[in-house]
Structure 1
């Protein structure tokens, strides 16, 4: 089983594949709970790009629930809602990492992770942690981690969780004023999720799958959803979520074969869904935690064309890049205190010239929805750019709520004009950190 966090450059995301759970979950049909809309698609024409080379269909059928299922030669499957309905077409299973041999005699020292450590779902009860504070302060853990009685008193796990859930920078003060993203649609394209997770189950309006080959939730999807729209973690906790689970390529014997064709197809599916939504419930932003502008990835031009089509429909697509960068934060530092922020974990040793021109967004030390259960969470010491994208998408939803006429260019200009200058270390270097309250005030004044 691969459980990796790969952070290779300023513009790459974390990627992690997840194990399958043997527990069977009851399938949830929510079509009766969601509004009926007209002309989402017809059986003859999905209005999304076709590619004879990639899309080699071996089987196509309609299930008893009315879902349209397309099976491909490579073993992957696409599942759409019934015609005229927004539906959750599948309930992916949770994963159980505790079934692996994680009963440890000593703390793991994993190659390549000397600055952060994976304690998720591990049994630490046989280990003396009394002198391991420095190690623990750079560790990932989840609700299934078993702790010994020797945890240092300075390592306040509950406080770490509390701070990790808070989006920080005064976002919750905006929520108290009713600025929650209510009525605004956010679309996310990412890995499979637990559709019934308590963090976001009340926000999800649609869950479909494009080119998927797993029945289990993955690590990545639940995290990005909770950062965008989670009721406790999210920037826009009352926004409407439209989710496309997608796999951009296939796993080969010699590694992952990246192909952005399926991202393009997912964007076009979102456009199609949006066309049928009421005027006051439109999707305003798409969150894609992937570095798209990589010339080595296949079908890059198809994605750019799809993004342009979305833009023409008033939908802003945010991906890794977009002149954004993530900040670090020590686990026990208050996320609403500007002095708590540091250089992001993965870029702290990089040349800072370009980063000084970017807008910094909270990234590290987040406690987010876990794929291990509908009421379980996980703490990630190092977030990666994947966490920055849904945060910014949630912020765009807040701006769209207070000013429905906001455009991406106005949003980006306002972010720069309202950013706060900060020092992230003991040098004189200045960085631009997001100022949510100032941004909202600027947008409301337009």
Structure 2
């Protein structure tokens, strides 16, 4: 068994009847045949990392029993920065690796987002993989468990506080103090005495706490699994403690992987290398088979040993299998520096280059065993970074398994070095930002938007709350990318809104010209003409608006109009339909006398799609009644649809109760309106179920002020109180197959608020032939949309 992986010391090895040793570095043996404990520098690797070895065991009575197998082929050595962990325990800067001869890639720019903090920028792996994309969307790995199989963890470390799983543990190990000694069990506590476990765990999930560094998945749960082996170098053959060594016990890898899966870990980080045969290898394959059948993910580090194939004959091959049966649930991590250069010398992923991701893991800061910040270099710190990225995706799409998530990370990586897969960078640099985004052919997104627009191509009038009401139900759909991930596609631009109801310049009653307000007698009949609509009506219609007024008897007046505005008196007491249709123009007639009044008007909108008829009656008591009928073609209270929806039109009947009273010397008028709409036509795309009910109200007053008349009031235009339809709605769209799924469901088109309009105006006749007026109005919850506001104002000067 050969294990490379934890840090500064090596530890115990193996019981067998046949022992084969492959030793790296220097060692020396005693004359008695025992291998002495050797703790001295044994050189540096190609990256400049110090390597310190502790060789123990050999042919003596001091043996560590790891398996009671009949034959175990084993090699023992722990090289310092195993699997990658170049741990600089003194906290100094690790030597910078020599840049490779490959083309220089573009460095990752500093992100500009809410996540761009000093802590974020200090976290090399996090910045390199652009994890800010996930953080800005509230994705932090919360609820996902990451198992870190390493040298343990300090349970009181603030960076992991509250997120260390209660199932974190170390494991029982069998040892024998001598060849003839009885076996005994040792178990070490979870505390990290080495620092390697704390460092790798911090890369995966250290907290975002505005200090030090953060992990890739800062709210994930840590399942810390300690597999540090014993130090048998100076153990008494009869009694006494068996101290913990500095390196891993390879026989504990399989139990730790199995335990991680059983305790619910989704992704497992393993930052060590080496090889083992016999039963240990079989157990490792069995454990990885469980990862596969449970659809979890295991991430391993490529070796730091220059030129070493980290797959062939190594633990990785035990796990994945010579047949590569488990490769889809396995990833390799390999390091690059902050400039995205590979080290000049490194291990290689061998046959698993296409399962390898590059991560910034050279001269990065991590949390040491005592909580201090330590600078490290090594492939050990690539694996936990990839594990953290997998946790981010798992949080957002919990339905995805290890096979799919690993495929996403590989497919969305940024190619580095020589185009394509290679031994220096694998498939390329891990990119969380790309991995979080939907992956599908570009044309499929256009097709999905087109399909959604077909359902949301409505023009909603303010009576229904505008685009917001339809957007609640059919403003979007779920789309699935090539990995089956669900995204919400919205189509707010497909739903349009017609008006808010606040019409500047049309709210305040005009000042009547003197020839209409002069005293009349039974023999005195006066005629006059005046325009009551804007100039564009004159341009659009061949006949100008005109009005005739006369007095048939003392105290009576008759007014006749042609090509004039219909159904829209000024002020806030104007038509409740002001946000529904364009101003109708037609004919009007009115009679008043002795406190009684009656009127009738009829007209149509400029586009010819709506016509309005209205009759009114008022008594001397101040009470009155108005009855109006609005007929629409191809619309329902201003709402229109594209061809194929099937709404042929609608007919609305409105009844209004009016009252005029003097209140503390101020003339006040009020109106309450109820309306019912019958819809003609419909289709499977949209069909109204029952009538549409609406209400409106208005209160206004007038009082003399500064030689003129001030008006003020409160009103609410017509608002839908009941409107239910059965609609065909988009549910989902497969971006790869182009399959659209729909359903028919009930939709309530009632808006979520009521518009309230406050208005103030002032008008005055300047001379017999001129007048001035101005006004301002403010709408709360404009267009019956909660929180929306609208303000309008105007000023007019008329000179004849």
Which TM-score applies when normalising by structure 2?
Answer: 0.32
Rg comparison, structure with higher value = 2
CA contact (8 A) 1:208 1:245 kept: yes
**Residues 4-403 of structure 1: pairs in structure 2 closer than 5 A:** 13=5, 15-17=7-9, 111-112=43-44, 116=48, 162=122, 164=124, 166-206=126-166, 207-211=168-172, 212-213=187-188, 217-231=193-207, 232-247=213-228, 249-253=229-233, 260-274=250-264, 283-291=265-273, 294-296=275-277, 299-320=280-301, 322-329=330-337, 335=338, 340-344=339-343, 346-347=345-346, 358-371=356-369, 373-374=370-371, 376-380=372-376, 382-384=377-379, 386-403=380-397
Change (3 A) 1:159 1:140: farther
CA contact (8 A) 1:258 1:297 kept: no
CA contact (8 A) 1:193 1:218 kept: no
Distance 1:116 1:186 in 2: 31
Which structure has the highest helix share of the two? 1
Q: Quick check: 1:435 aligned with 2:424? A: no
Q: How many residues align?
A: 295
Which structure has the highest strand share of the two? 2
- SS of 2:157's equivalent? coil
Change (3 A) 1:297 1:17: farther
CA contact (8 A) 1:197 1:369 kept: no
Does 257-266 or 227-236 show the bigger shift?
Answer: 257-266
Change (3 A) 1:297 1:391: farther
Q: Cα offset for 1:110? A: 8.1
Change (3 A) 1:414 1:169: same
CA contact (8 A) 1:414 1:442 kept: no
Where does the alignment leave 5 or more consecutive residues of structure 2 unmatched? 17-40, 51-85, 94-117, 173-186, 208-212, 235-244, 302-315, 317-329, 440-479, 486-800
CA contact (8 A) 1:190 1:246 kept: yes
Change (3 A) 1:370 1:190: same
Change (3 A) 1:271 1:434: closer
Match of 2:548 in 1: none
Change (3 A) 1:163 1:424: farther
Structure with the larger RCO, 1 or 2 (CA within 8 Å, 6+ apart): 1
Instruction: Note the alpha carbon deviations across 1:226-265, whole angstroms, 9 max, x for none.
Output: 0111123311111111212122x54455999975332222
Change (3 A) 1:303 1:417: same
- SS of 2:43's equivalent? coil
Change (3 A) 1:160 1:408: closer
Instruction: Note the alpha carbon deviations across 1:70-123, whole angstroms, 9 max, x for none.
Output: xxxxxxxxxxxxxxxxxxxxxxxxxxxxxxxxxxxxxxx9832685366xxxxx
Instruction: Note the alpha carbon deviations across 1:298-344, whole angstroms, 9 max, x for none.
Output: 51111221222243334322233545342321xxxxx4xxxx11013
Q: Cα offset for 1:16? A: 2.7
CA contact (8 A) 2:336 2:359 kept: no
Change (3 A) 1:234 1:316: same
CA contact (8 A) 1:327 1:364 kept: yes
Change (3 A) 1:409 1:273: closer
Distance 1:268 1:319 in 2: 15
1:421 alignment partner, one of 415, 420, 423: 415
Which TM-score applies when normalising by structure 1?
Answer: 0.55
Change (3 A) 1:260 1:116: closer
Distance 2:10 2:198 in 1: 12
CA contact (8 A) 1:190 1:244 kept: yes
RMSD between aligned alpha carbons? 4.3
- SS of 2:406's equivalent? helix
Distance 2:119 2:296 in 1: 37
Where does the alignment leave 5 or more consecutive residues of structure 1 unmatched? 1-7, 20-52, 55-108, 119-138, 147-157, 275-282, 330-334
Instruction: Note the alpha carbon deviations across 1:359-390, whole angstroms, 9 max, x for none.
Output: 3222212100111x23x11001x212x21211
Distance 2:136 2:163 in 1: 18
